[in-house]
C-alpha cells in the first residue's frame, strides 16, 4: 500500500510540475503585475532566452570583446550597454544582436572607451561597481535587479529597464554619491 501511495504522490508531483511549466510558457497567461508595464511568465522566459542567445553570439565573435558589453532584454527589445574600443565593435555588436531570431529591436547604449586603464584603475572601477550595486540593492525605491552597472575610469554607466522616472532619478542620485564616482551616465529606459 505504501508503494502505490508513494507512486501516486510522485505522479501528482510530476503532473503539478508539468502544469506549472506549461502555464509559464503560455503567452496568454495573466500578467505578473497590474501595471501597463506587465509581462507574462512566458515573455519573461522568452526574454531570458533571447538575452542568453545574444550573449552567446557576442562571446563567439572574435571581433567583439563581449565581456565589456551588457545585454538586457524586455519584451524582445534588446539593450546593449558597456564600453568597447571602437565604433566598428559597436556596429558589429548591434548587427550580431539584430541577427538573433526573436529580437524585435536593438537599443544601442554602448560607449567608446577613453584612454587605456591601469590595473589599479580596473580594481578601483570594480570596487565602485560593487559599491553601487550594494547601495542600489539596499534602497527599497529602486528595483536594482533591473539595472546593470558598468564602471570605466570612475565613469559609471547605468542601463536597463526600470518601472518609472522616479527609479531612474533615485538610481542616479545614489550612484553619484558613491566614493570614487566621477560621472554617472543614464542609459536606463522606462518599461513599456
Confidence at residue 37, expressed as pLDDT on a 0 to 100 scale: 55
Topology given in CATH for the domain delimited by 119-190: 3.30.1340
Higher pLDDT, 8 or 150: 150
Confidence at residue 144, expressed as pLDDT on a 0 to 100 scale: 73
The answer to whether the beta carbons of residues 161 and 190 sit under 8 Å apart is yes
The answer to whether the beta carbons of residues 164 and 189 sit under 8 Å apart is no
Higher pLDDT, 32 or 89: 89
pLDDT over 90 at 5, yes or no: no
Tens-place pLDDT, residues 92-141: 999 999 999 999 999 998 888 776 667 777 788 899 999 999 999 999 88
Bridge partners of 79, per DSSP, are 72, 107
Class of the CATH domain delimited by 41-112: alpha beta
CA distance 122 to 12: 53
pTM of the model: 0.60
Tens-place pLDDT, residues 18-67: 344 444 443 333 344 434 456 677 777 888 899 899 989 888 887 776 56
Between the ranges 39-53, 63-77, 83-97, 173-187, where is the mean pLDDT highest? Answer: 173-187
pLDDT over 60 at 71, yes or no: yes
Bridge partners of 158, per DSSP, are 149, 186
pLDDT over 70 at 9, yes or no: no
- Asked whether the domain spanning 119-190 has the same topology as the one spanning 41-112, the reply is yes
Instruction: Look up residue 172 and give its three cell numbers.
Output: 542616479
Domain ranges of the chain: 41-112, 119-190
DSSP letters spanning 47-112: HHHHHHHHHHHHHH-TTS-GGGEEEEEETTEEEEEEEESSHHHHHHHHHHHHTSTT--EEEEEEEE
Confidence at residue 67, expressed as pLDDT on a 0 to 100 scale: 62
Residues 81-101, mean pLDDT to the nearest whole number: 90
Confidence at residue 66, expressed as pLDDT on a 0 to 100 scale: 55
**CA distances from residue 12 to 4, 121, 187 in whole angstroms, order as listed:** 12, 56, 47
Amino acid at each position: 500500500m505504501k508503494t502505490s501511495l508513494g507512486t501516486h504522490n510522485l505522479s501528482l508531483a510530476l503532473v503539478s510540475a508539468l502544469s506549472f511549466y506549461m502555464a509559464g510558457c503560455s503567452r496568454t497567461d495573466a500578467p505578473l503585475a497590474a501595471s501597463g508595464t506587465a509581462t507574462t511568465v512566458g515573455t519573461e522566459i522568452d526574454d531570458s532566452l533571447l538575452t542568453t542567445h545574444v550573449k552567446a553570439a557576442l562571446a563567439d565573435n572574435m571581433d567583439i570583446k563581449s565581456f565589456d558589453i551588457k545585454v538586457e532584454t524586455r519584451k524582445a527589445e534588446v539593450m546593449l550597454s558597456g564600453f568597447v574600443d571602437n565604433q566598428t565593435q559597436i556596429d558589429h555588436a548591434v548587427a550580431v544582436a539584430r541577427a538573433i531570431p526573436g529580437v524585435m529591436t536593438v537599443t544601442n547604449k554602448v560607449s567608446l572607451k577613453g584612454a587605456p586603464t591601469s590595473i589599479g584603475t580596473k580594481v578601483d572601477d570594480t570596487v565602485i561597481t560593487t559599491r553601487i550595486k550594494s547601495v542600489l540593492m539596499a534602497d527599497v525605491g529602486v528595483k536594482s535587479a533591473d539595472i546593470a552597472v558598468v564602471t570605466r575610469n570612475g565613469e559609471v554607466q547605468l542601463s536597463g529597464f526600470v518601472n518609472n522616472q522616479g527609479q531612474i532619478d533615485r538610481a542616479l542620485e545614489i550612484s553619484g554619491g558613491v566614493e570614487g564616482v566621477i560621472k554617472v551616465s543614464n542609459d536606463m529606459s522606462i518599461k513599456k
